[in-house]
Chains A and B, each alone.
Chain A
Amino acid sequence: MDFYYGLVQIIGIHALLGLSAYWILLTGQISLAQAAFFGIGAYLAGMLTTLWAWPLVPALFAAAAFSGFIAFLVGFPALRVKGLMLVVATIAFSEIVRIFFFNLKYRVVIDGVELGPAGGEGFSQIRYFPLNGWSVFEVMAFIWVFVLSVMAVLWWLDRSRIGVVLRAVGEDELAAQAAGINVTAIKVLAMTVSGALAGLGGGIFAHYTTHVEHAQFGIVLAAFALSYPIIGGLSSVFGTVLAAVFIQGFLVEGLRFMGDWRSFVFGLFIILIMNLRPDGFFNGRFGWRRFGALQRRKTEDA
């Protein structure tokens, strides 16, 4: 049973990461910095609870706030560039953050044990959950309280004018400006919120795995983060969360029996989705209209 609880935990963490990417993707910005914000949150929350004995919830909020602040700072210069240039800029930022953690050594002796980030060896013994006697089930429930709260807030914002403004910016920046929207402010705001969400997810992740290191927060994680809203579609938060369930639960864990072929199937699946349902696999009405359209086109050609 614990295996499934653990799986539900990691799905929840990835759902948070996916939701952070969803929120910035609504404005049409493709950011590969989410893994970096996730890493910042992971390291900060871990240090707060293990080195300075913070309670977990304040540590998570502090990690979210700090990641959000970094995202805010990065947002100004980064969002001046668009499209592929933004992708390159955010990859560069992620690498800076990764190298920073690779070099971060801050060891403190607590109760005779040396703890803290140890450079390339990573940061071990983030043992808040076991030390406080949390069961696997409790940790799972704790994670999903955050996931569901974030989903509820984003769902509500999405239906308010804020969501519509974000989508308007994503569709046509010039028209959005002509409609009186301060496009730069909206993009930086969305980046800040998405940075905070990624930081929250990272903070939870650090306590879930008890060991974090720089290599976890690289381009692969950033690609995962972006794949959730792309596969889930941008019609609502549910698509992103469903995509996280599907990818983590089915493609990553479910296909484990395929060994090395797993990545192959995974990649094939992404390509298929891009072609068959370009607006996202879980997007909006669950029709197969595109298949229908393909069929029609074939018969017309013939």
Chain B
Amino acid sequence: MLNVSSLSKSFGGIQALDKLSFDVREGEIHGLIGPNGSGKSTTVNLVSGLFMPSAGTVEFQGRDITSLPLHRRTSAGISRTFQNIRLFGKLSVWKNLWVAQQGGGASGGFLRRWVDGGAAAKEEIDEILELSSLQHKRNVPASSLSFGEQRRLELARAMACRPRLILMDEPAAGMNPEEIDDLEVRIRELRRRQVTVLLIEHHMDLVMSVSDRITVLNFGRRIAQGTAEDIQSDPAVQEAYLGVAA
């Protein structure tokens, strides 16, 4: 579904990504891990279109999207969450989702789409709110939500774009163990709804238990790819994380 081939990105003299290639299959939960500074966030930013790569291509559902800007990738079916939560703080929870829906190609004619998106669209927002356990907060401004609720709302907003693929940039950062368990349930729910997930995360327990396949980066290169068992027994991964020569 997502094909990244020999993707490179340098910031000034720093080579953040060096000919990175990996693929994400339709319907899977794909973990992307690596030590700090290994290029995980850069990868997400390149796949979501926040930056343009120095070299290489990104293909999504058989289509080359390397030069598509961020908002067009959203309408093409890739949405994302941010490591540092970015919500529309003064808008209500409900409106945060309403805004997102128009990018995802809401039903109805041009005017309808712009003016309100129609009844079906509103029902869909209510459904997403319920799924995110945010229904009781639908009319409060997003900035007044608790940290965990803000994370849930950001994921809900990504879902409101009607994505085929969701990129999650460290969704468990700052969460307590119960919140992480809750997050895991929500990620599995995405897969049940046939949404593919690319998960960037530092919490190894979460990544190992939820991911179908995992790609490991170090110094902007891929050092391993496979299931959780494959990765854990891989000497290159052990060296990268523990600094022990295998």
A179:B114 contact, CB within 8 angstroms: no
**Neighbour of A183 across the interface among B71, B79, B89, B157, CB < 8 A:** B71
Contact among A161, A164, A178, A181 for B86, CB-based, below 8 A: A178
Count residues on chain A whose CB falls below 8 Å from chain B CBs: 19
B positions within 8 Å CB-CB of A? 48, 50, 69-72, 74-75, 79-80, 82, 86-91, 95, 98-100, 102-104, 114-117, 157-158, 160-161
With known contacts A161-B98, A161-B115, A168-B99, A181–B91 Cβ distance under 8 A: no
- Contact A177:B70 (CB < 8 A) given known A161-B102, A161-B115: yes
- Is there an interface contact between A171 and B74, defined as CB atoms closer than 8 Å? no
Query: Closest CB of chain B to A289's CB: distance in Å?
Result: 14
Tell me whether A167 and B91 are in contact (CB under 8 A).
Answer: yes
Check B100–A164 contact: CB distance below 8 A.
no
Q: Are A180 and B75 in contact (CB under 8 A)?
A: yes
A274, B33: Cα distance in complex, Å: 47
How far, in whole Å, are A27 and B186 apart by their CA atoms in the complex?
Answer: 33
Q: Are A175 and B82 in contact (CB under 8 A)?
A: yes
With an 8 A cutoff between CB atoms, is A138 at the interface? no
* Inter-subunit contact A164/B115 (CB<8 Å): no
Task: Known A-B contacts: A161-B98, A175-B82. Give 19 more (CB < 8 A).
Answer: A160-B115, A160-B116, A161-B114, A161-B116, A164-B91, A164-B98, A165-B102, A167-B90, A171-B90, A174-B50, A174-B70, A175-B86, A177-B70, A178-B70, A178-B74, A179-B79, A179-B103, A180-B75, A183-B71
Can you report 26 residue pairs joining A to B where beta carbons are below 8 Å apart? Answer: A160-B115, A162-B114, A164-B91, A164-B95, A164-B98, A164-B99, A167-B91, A168-B88, A168-B99, A171-B91, A172-B86, A172-B88, A175-B86, A177-B71, A178-B48, A178-B71, A178-B79, A178-B158, A179-B74, A179-B99, A179-B157, A179-B161, A180-B79, A180-B104, A180-B161, A183-B71
**How far is B16's CA from A125's CA once the two chains are assembled, in angstroms?**
67
**Could you count the A-B residue pairs with CB atoms below 8 Å apart for me: how many are there?**
80
The answer to whether B88 touches A175, judged by C-beta atoms less than 8 angstroms apart, is yes
Query: Measured between C-beta atoms, what is the minimum distance from A159 to chain B in Å?
Result: 9
Q: Which residue of B lies closest to A279 (CB)?
A: B90
B108 to chain A, nearest CB (A): 11
For residue B114, which residues in chain A have a CB less than 8 angstroms away from its CB? Answer: 160-162
Cα A287 to Cα B157 with chains together (Å): 32
**What does the 1/0 interface line of A242-283 toward B look like (CB < 8 Å)?**
000000000000000000000000000000000000000000
Enumerate the 6 nearest inter-chain pairs by beta-carbon distance, A residue then B residue, closest first.
A180-B103, A180-B74, A175-B86, A179-B100, A177-B70, A160-B115
Nearest CB in chain A to that of B142: its residue: A171
Q: Is A182 an interface residue (CB 8 A)?
A: yes
A168 CA to B103 CA, complexed, in Å = 13
| Complexed CA–CA distance, A165 and B113 (Å) | 12
A47 to B161, CA, bound (A): 49
Separation of A140 and B27 alpha carbons in the complex (Å):
65
Report if A104 contacts B (CB, 8 A).
no
How far does the alpha carbon of A175 sit from the alpha carbon of B70 in the complex, in Å?
Answer: 10
Quote the shortest CB–CB distance from A273 to chain B (angstroms).
19
A17 to B16 alpha-carbon distance, docked (Å): 49
Q: Are A181 and B88 in contact (CB under 8 A)?
A: no
Cross-chain contact B82 with A178 (CB below 8 angstroms): yes
A162 proximity list for chain B (CB < 8 A): 114-115
Q: What's the least CB distance linking B114 to chain A, in Å? A: 6
A171-209 contacts to B, CB under 8 A, are 171-172, 174-183
Cα A165 to Cα B48 in complex, Å, equals: 20
CB-CB < 8 A to A181: which residues of B?
Answer: 71, 99, 102-103
Q: Which residues from chain A contact B158 at a C-beta distance below 8 Å?
A: 178
Chain B contacts for A178, CB-based, 8 A: 48, 70-71, 74, 79-80, 82, 86, 158
